[in-house]
A and B are shown apart, each in its own frame.
Chain A
Amino acid sequence: MKIHEYQAKTLFARFGIPVPEGAVAGTPDEARDIAAKLSQNRYVVKAQIHAGGRGKGGGVKLVESPEEVYEAARNLLGQNLVTPQTGPEGRLVRQVLVEAAHGYRQEFYVGLTLDRNLAQPVIMVSSAGGMDIEEVAEKTPELIFREALNPRWGFLAFQGGNLAQRLKWEGSLFRTGAALFANLYRLFSSLDASLAEINPLVVTDDGRLLALDAKINIDDNALFRHPEMEELVDPNEMDPLELEASRYKLNYIRLDGNIGAMVNGAGLAMATMDLIKQAGAEPANFLDVGGGADAEVTAQGFRIILSDERVKAILINIFGGILRCDVLAQGVVEAAKAVQIKVPIIVRLEGTNKEEGQRLLNDSGIDFAVAYDLRDAAEKVANLVR
């Protein structure tokens, strides 16, 4: 789960990580009022969207008066911001974060994420702040310092000290820096984050550490023990079909093509996307209805694909195990009752109760082509796009 920068900064503050003073605004007037209350005469106005690269896309404005804050907010709000990470269509800006701008003398990168090979969180810091960390890792790996944090004993104070020293922080900066790293780990572990990143963390002209940016992702699997996180979900940032799918706990991801796919199991769903591509077409989505789906959930999944206007054909690929083919067929028939199906459908059923599933589909009056195996399915998809 992703959250906005302003939400992440609220969490930073709660865990003792210093952030600039400021607030989020939904209108230019609100933005000006926030600026007027700040004890600074330079301001930064930042578009709040769930995508990085905002600076490069013109989503971050540095201005010098509350009137200019108003102007900057007016220019950003309601616009589609295109960044290197949004794709060409961009993202609609609905909110801006207005903050006091601080002069700074140095920028750093700080990131905390799970290293799946070590099975432990790893904190990474670099004096090459403000840059894309992957780029730094590639070009100047010697500028990145790491500490692995064993979950058995968590963050050890000296590890914060090690990092501070490698960044050449001294005196009070050493102490506050080491503490900041410990606080970031406390945030990471108590919120079940999958990523906590500060890029950049700066040393201000008056020698203080300040998190100018904040990014937190939360482990979706852990949301059950963080009900408060639900309030931080911004449905506007989700694709409408993905949002709809998430209500039924369906794993749905919208892609760029026009062949809809409905599959049970994530691995088989990925393999089916690959198969569509190999057949010369492009998948419109990834949809895993899951192993334990019932007729109702399958019906919802099928409805979601049918409601996607780009979809020119649908491939249903089911290997029945726990999800029986007849249950899947029931769901498809159920969904098909409600809408008129205008696109060709290819159905491949294998495994538990496949004959019964096939029969249900045959009797339903829905027009579809049967694929006997994966090869046949691929061929039938290829024929459609030819």
Chain B
Amino acid sequence: MSILVDKETRVVVQGITGSEGRFHTEKMIEYGTKIVGGVTPGKGGQEVFGLPVFDTVDKAVSEAAPDASIIFVPPAMAADAIMEAAAGLKLVVCITEGIPVLDMARVWHYLNDRETVLIGPNCPGIISPGQTKLGIMPSPIHLAGSIGVVSRSGTLTYEVVSQLTQVGLGQSTCVGIGGDPIIGQSFVDILRRFKNDDQTEAVVMVGEIGGRAEEDAARFIQAEFDKPVFAFIAGRTAPSGRRMGHAGAIISGKSGGAADKITALKAAGIHMVEDLGFLGETVKRVLN
């Protein structure tokens, strides 16, 4: 089994009539994702690729019975879109980059009262190779298999996945948890799912500077995760106090630097990959 999604997952696309939403809806359909409709306020009744567009998630839920939503709504409205989705769905994937952080603080507390699982924002989404994708990652680099991948980044994840595929290591599920300071699922949340997933035999975790999610993951892994974990941390050469592209990738004073994360991960017995170019090979060698 994969985690979070499988080939039966029914998906509604919020922001389906926008250019990004439309583009990736087509790619997801090509991959086999069960898209059951879209939501764009004020465009209810239209169709995109023959799929119904609804004005609200509420309407989409009653008419198209989706399990999950993927959001391509612009930053100004994205927080609201997440909360709208969370009112009716168990899984929400938010691709949008650039949501104000105080908006996300509200979303975080809104979700705290609910069972809804949020992936992102500012993320590439989720893919369970061979089954479904709720995301924007290029499909051909993936291969079905037993490695779980969890990452704060987009293209860096593609690099990692592509190397794994090249050495013949397929993936169970790849989850981009997002590069913002406040996100839904954390490394620990995803690791917990990989722990209980029979298909997943090992995990590759891709972290970066900023915050302490990697340190939290290290503690969790040491305490209760019994599958091999490989980790790479981006930003060892990043200067302090500068936001490195991702809103969450910033070293503030003495916290959030790569060195502390690497130390914590190593201490927890995780295989640190220092040289990204050798990641695929390293994972293969160690697992053999």
13 A-B pairs with CB atoms under 8 Å apart are: A114-B182, A116-B181, A134-B253, A221-B247, A251-B245, A255-B237, A255-B239, A265-B155, A267-B246, A270-B249, A271-B156, A274-B234, A321-B124
User: A119 near B234 (CB under 8 angstroms)?
Assistant: no
User: A288 near B100 (CB under 8 angstroms)?
Assistant: no
Inside 8 A of B98's CB, which chain A residues have their CB?
221
User: A321 near B209 (CB under 8 angstroms)?
Assistant: no
Interface residues of A in 265-289 (CB under 8 A from B): 265-271, 273-278, 283, 286, 288
Q: Is A219 engaged at the interface, CB distance under 8 Å to the other chain?
A: yes
User: B154 near A270 (CB under 8 angstroms)?
Assistant: no
User: A267 near B156 (CB under 8 angstroms)?
Assistant: yes
| B interface residues, how many (CB within 8 angstroms) | 60
Task: Tell me which of A117, A266, A351 has the highest count of chain B C-beta atoms within 10 A of its own C-beta.
Answer: A266
In the A-B complex, list the 3 residue pairs whose CB atoms are closest, starting with the nearest.
A267-B153, A266-B245, A265-B155
User: B237 near A277 (CB under 8 angstroms)?
Assistant: yes
User: B239 near A267 (CB under 8 angstroms)?
Assistant: no
Task: Give the contacting residue for B278; candidates A222, A253, A263, A375; CB below 8 A.
Answer: A375
User: A134 near B245 (CB under 8 angstroms)?
Assistant: no
Given contacts A119-B182, A273-B235, A320-B138, 9 further A-B contacts (CB under 8 A): A150-B109, A251-B245, A255-B239, A265-B155, A266-B154, A270-B208, A271-B234, A283-B237, A378-B275
1/0 contact string of A31-51 vs chain B (CB within 8 Å): 000000000000000000000
Closest to A375 in B: B277
Q: How far is the CB of A384 from chain B (nearest CB, A)?
A: 17
Interface residues of A (CB under 8 A from B): 114, 116-117, 119-121, 134, 138, 150-152, 189, 192, 194, 219-222, 224-225, 251, 253, 255, 263-271, 273-278, 283, 286, 288, 291-292, 319-322, 350-352, 373-378
1/0 contact string of B91-119 vs chain A (CB within 8 Å): 00000001111111110110000000000
Task: Give the contacting residue for B105; candidates A119, A255, A320, A373; CB below 8 A.
Answer: A119
Q: Give the A-B contact count at a CB cut-off of 8 A.
A: 171
User: A152 near B109 (CB under 8 angstroms)?
Assistant: yes
Closest to A378 in B: B277
User: A350 near B159 (CB under 8 angstroms)?
Assistant: yes
Inside 8 A of A319's CB, which chain B residues have their CB?
155, 158-159, 162
Q: Is B170 engaged at the interface, CB distance under 8 Å to the other chain?
A: no
Inside 8 A of A291's CB, which chain B residues have their CB?
136, 154-155
Interface residues of B in 66-80 (CB under 8 A from A): 75-76
Inside 8 A of A352's CB, which chain B residues have their CB?
138
The A interface, classified by DSSP as helix, strand, loop or mixed, is: mixed
Inside 8 A of B179's CB, which chain A residues have their CB?
266-267
Inside 8 A of A114's CB, which chain B residues have their CB?
101-102, 105, 181-182
Inside 8 A of B238's CB, which chain A residues have their CB?
270, 273, 286
Closest to B281 in A: A375
Task: Give the contacting residue for A221; candidates B99, B152, B209, B254; CB below 8 A.
Answer: B99
Inside 8 A of A273's CB, which chain B residues have their CB?
235, 237-238
Inside 8 A of A134's CB, which chain B residues have their CB?
253-254
Q: Is B242 engaged at the interface, CB distance under 8 Å to the other chain?
A: yes
Q: How far is the CB of A267 from chain B (nearest CB, A)?
A: 3
User: B75 near A221 (CB under 8 angstroms)?
Assistant: yes
Complex alpha-carbon distance, A116 and B100, angstroms = 13
Complex alpha-carbon distance, A224 and B77, angstroms = 12
Inside 8 A of B253's CB, which chain A residues have their CB?
134
Complex alpha-carbon distance, A362 and B123, angstroms = 33
Q: Is B4 engaged at the interface, CB distance under 8 Å to the other chain?
A: no
Given contacts A267-B179, A273-B237, A278-B275, contact A288 B245 (CB under 8 A): yes
Q: How far is the CB of B16 from chain A (nearest CB, A)?
A: 17
Q: Is B272 engaged at the interface, CB distance under 8 Å to the other chain?
A: no
1/0 contact string of B241-264 vs chain A (CB within 8 Å): 011111111000110000000000
Task: Tell me which of B136, B152, B206, B234 has the highest count of chain A C-beta atoms within 10 A of its own C-beta.
Answer: B234
Q: Is B146 engaged at the interface, CB distance under 8 Å to the other chain?
A: no
Complex alpha-carbon distance, A184 and B270, angstroms = 43
Q: Is B90 engaged at the interface, CB distance under 8 Å to the other chain?
A: no
Task: Tell me which of A151, A263, A277, A292 has the highest count of chain B C-beta atoms within 10 A of its own C-beta.
Answer: A151
User: B109 near A268 (CB under 8 angstroms)?
Assistant: no
User: A374 near B234 (CB under 8 angstroms)?
Assistant: no
User: B156 near A265 (CB under 8 angstroms)?
Assistant: yes
